[in-house]
Structure 1
Amino acid sequence: MKTETLSSDPFPADRKTAVTRWKEHRGWYVDWCTVWFCVLGGLIVGITVLALANIAMTELADPAHLLEVALSSEVIHSILLTFGAGASAVLLLILFGTPLAYVLARSRPSRLKGVVESIVDIPLILPHTVAGLLVYLLFMRRGWLGAPLSEIGLAFEDALPGTIVAMLFVSSPFFINTMREGFEMVPVHMENVARTLGADTFTAFRTVTLPLSLRHMYSGAVLAWGRAIGEFAGVVMIAYYPFIISTLIYYFFTTDGIYTSRSIAFTVILVSLGVFYLLRRMTRYLGRYDDRV
């Protein structure tokens, strides 16, 4: 009768050899799952890099023309106007979108809440031309809001307020949804503790919830600002003038061809890349002491 002695080693010899080879390969682990994830994700990054390299090589071949276009007063004014209009839209979102995000975060699930959340998300799923048409019909001189506001001297057609309103409409879901997620991450019991100490609802919001959600407010503002300054169709439907940067590129593309519009686009890429790099760097320091919550 043959008997087999059970080994006390839970790992078979061939498995131990494979693990040892895996560990000893140049002194570090080779996680093939992560490697393949990087390869698959790198395809998306690679498309962006190829597109940037394509336009960069073409523009850097003629630096004199690039500098002439980049330093022209028309391009500089258009970039500043675009960034300023986007910032104005974000300020309005902070003022009106923050209370809405707080109510959605603290309210219980219901049909009404679902309807409101769906309405907030509508600009995400609409084609840009449809979004621009909605803004135009509402704020044109004979629109429901445009008519009474025009009587007090506030015009939206081919005016800066029209640009700001269009940017506000298309970027609102990015800010509101980000702020709602930030408020939901703050435990409700912390607000309840503040109320037991005599604070009313607004005081608890101002001193507890809002400071702990500053990082989400900042991230939502950056996302909304980026979405706002990149809008074209929604803006051009109501305010072709004054030229924001996307409208200016389209104007030169239709009147002067690809040569000048490509230089303007490359200038915008460089400026936007630098601005958003700085904004992302600032995210590391904003609200880092409240991460423990």
Structure 2
Amino acid sequence: MNQDKSFFTVFIVLSALLLLFLVLPLLNMILNPGNIQNAIFDSEVINSLLISLKAAGTATVIALYIGVPISYLLSRYHFFGKNVVEAIIDIPMAIPHAVIGIMILAFYYGTSIGRGFESIGFKIVDNFWGIVTVMLYVGLPYMVNSARDGFLMVDEELENVSRTLGASRAKTFFKISLPLIKNNIVSGSILTFARGISEVGAILVIAYFPKTAPVLILDRFNQYGLTASKPISVIMIILSILLFSVFRLVRYKQK
């Protein structure tokens, strides 16, 4: 009995230390935001926040459309090289941020495919679509893995019954399988959006302009120090908390 008590005590203490480690810097920023009023009325700050939100939202929608199909295939079929495909999908989570930017830039300018995109007017350097490209690259693993885990939890017998009743594979997917993983889709969207909106290193390589909020924060810090960068950081923190609170509320209501 004493051993059990000691076990839980140790775990509670460690959990409390973890929470303090996460919360104390956050509380310090919110309680000591600096001159946040100036930041709120700074047009450059507002524009950078809007660009971040728009780009992350766009990347999330694209990730949803191109990530869910491969998630379904990975959950339903076994094929040669499947482990390699899953490893490739996870690669963006393991590569340093700046390296991702250099990879994308090298592909864009160093291959015929990349030059083909440029020839038809799709530009990424110092361009909004460059930011979206980076956010999509770093966010896709979260969407794919979340949706795949959802499909794995769906009983295949439900799909088989639907097919025996005359429904096509496509109709079964959209009417049976996809609605059952809506919580996973929401979770994947939240994680993809969060990963995108927080990206800095790869975006600095690809598109310093137009500035996203994290790039502007780093820029202000390098030029003027902590005093200038802290108010924008606080706005970013508050905005992120509000957005994710809404996302999780939506997810909770869907249960």
Letter of the 1:122 counterpart? I
Find out whether 1:66 has 2:36 as its counterpart.
Answer: yes
Q: Which residue of 2 aligns with 1:9?
A: none
1:107-161: CA deviation from partner (whole Å, max 9, x where unpaired): 12x4410010010010111111111111111224x54433111111111111011
How far apart are 1:239 and its partner, in Å?
0.7
Name which structure has the greater RCO, CA cutoff 8 Å, separation 6+: 2
Find out whether 1:49 has 2:19 as its counterpart.
Answer: no
Tell me the number of residue pairs that the alignment of Structure 1 and Structure 2 aligns.
254
Q: Which residue of 1 aligns with 2:169?
A: 201
* Cα 1:143–1:250 shift into 2, 3 Å: farther
Q: Percent identity?
A: 31
How far apart are 1:33 and its partner, in Å?
4.6
Find out whether 1:102 has 2:79 as its counterpart.
Answer: no
What is the Cα-based RMSD across aligned positions, in Å?
A: 1.8
TM-score by length of 1: 0.82
Distance 1:170 1:275 in 2: 20
How far apart are 1:205 and its partner, in Å?
0.5
Q: Which residue of 1 aligns with 2:137?
A: 169
Q: How does 1:22-41 map to 2 (within 5 A)?
A: 33-41=7-15
Letter of the 1:84 counterpart? K
- Unpaired runs of at least 5, structure 2: none
Q: How does 1:104-119 map to 2 (within 5 A)?
A: 104-108=74-78, 110-119=79-88
How far apart are 1:32 and its partner, in Å?
6.0
Distance 1:111 1:172 in 2: 22
Whether contact under 8 Å (2:217, 2:229) holds in the other structure is yes
- 120-129 vs 250-259, which moves further: 250-259
Which residue among 50, 57, 66 is the counterpart of 1:80? 50
Distance 2:84 2:163 in 1: 30
Query: What SS class does the counterpart of residue 121 from structure 1 fall into?
Result: helix
Over 2 Å off, 4+ runs? 30-39, 53-59, 142-146
* Cα 1:84–1:35 shift into 2, 3 Å: farther
- Larger CA Rg, structure 1 vs 2: 1
Query: What SS class does the counterpart of residue 102 from structure 1 fall into?
Result: helix
Which residue among 134, 146, 151 is the counterpart of 1:178? 146
Whether contact under 8 Å (2:102, 2:202) holds in the other structure is yes
Find out whether 1:150 has 2:118 as its counterpart.
Answer: yes
Which residue among 101, 106, 114 is the counterpart of 1:132? 101
TM-score by length of 2: 0.93
Q: Which residue of 1 aligns with 2:158?
A: 190
- Give the structure with the higher percent helix: 2
Whether contact under 8 Å (1:146, 1:155) holds in the other structure is no
